Amino acid sequence: MISGNIANYFRNIYESVNTIATGMWITFKTAFFERKVTLQYPSYDVFEGKPKDAFLPNGSAKQPFELLLGAAQNYRGPLSRRVADRFRGLLGYNEPQCIACLLCMQICPIDVIAVKGVRIEGRKGKAPLTYTIDYAKCMFCGLCVESCPTGAVFFTRQFEASTFDFDALAKEFIPAEVRRERLRLSAEASQKPEKSRKEKKEDENDHL
């Protein structure tokens, strides 16, 4: 009886030491001899292969032991770009096809999209003055995609948009310089009818 208890005592010690040693060996082997796939998520864009946050230029901000442990910056793991044909990723926007009809903005149940348009010469419909998508609120219902008559709004294959910069989730697709130029062209277009009316009135007065 006593010899059996002593044997169990030393067996428990052996199993404890062996378990700890095995775990430490796996940790040591993984840290120093195996290829790492750890990324600075969500600051690192797997598809683009670079940091996506403004305050992490060129991957300069790294964890303290990342260089020591050799964490790889290029992911070569099992991730696949292939997604289902009906997959609803982040909303995309094709500006040349947009006529600023406001249908996408009006049908959106949670005000994800904001659109303003102006009329300029040489553009069918209206030219978008501003087109903003707030990805932080989008629930991927697809109503905007279905209602768009020109296909300017569509689902992309991109599924990952995590970021530490919350304001970056509201994306404006019309650059400021394009907006200023379209405002100028719109002002010129609105002045032309008034100018033509004045010229017509002057011609009538001359005939009288």
Q: Establish if 21 belongs to a structural domain.
A: yes
Q: Establish if 77 belongs to a structural domain.
A: no
Q: Are residues 117 and 195 in the same domain?
A: yes
Q: Establish if 83 belongs to a structural domain.
A: no
Q: Establish if 140 belongs to a structural domain.
A: yes
Torsion angle (degrees, nearest 10) of CA 115, 169, 81, 52: 130
Q: Are residues 172 and 134 in the same domain?
A: yes
Q: Are residues 54 and 136 in the same domain?
A: no
Q: Are residues 146 and 190 in the same domain?
A: yes
Mapping DSSP to helix (H, G, I), strand (E, B) and coil, where does residue 54 land?
Answer: coil
Q: Are residues 64 and 164 in the same domain?
A: no
Mapping DSSP to helix (H, G, I), strand (E, B) and coil, where does residue 191 land?
Answer: helix
DSSP string, 85-124: TT---SEEE-GGG-----HHHHH-TT--EEEEEE--TT-S
Q: Establish if 74 belongs to a structural domain.
A: no
Over residues 167-197, the pLDDT tens digits come to 889 999 999 999 999 999 988 888 776 656 6
CA-CA distance, 127 to 121, in Å (whole number)? 9
Q: Are residues 41 and 99 in the same domain?
A: no
Over residues 114-170, the pLDDT tens digits come to 999 999 888 888 999 999 999 999 999 999 999 999 999 999 888 878 787 888 899
Q: Are residues 111 and 53 in the same domain?
A: no
Q: Which domain holds residue 51?
A: 2-69
CA-CA distance, 64 to 71, in Å (whole number)? 11
Query: For the residues 76-83, what does the mean pLDDT come to?
Result: 56
- CA nearest neighbour of 85 among 5, 154, 10: 154
Q: Establish if 104 belongs to a structural domain.
A: yes
Q: Establish if 161 belongs to a structural domain.
A: yes
Regarding pTM above 0.75, the answer is no
Q: Establish if 204 belongs to a structural domain.
A: no
* CATH number, position 182: 3.30.70.3270
Counting the structural domains of the chain, the total is 2
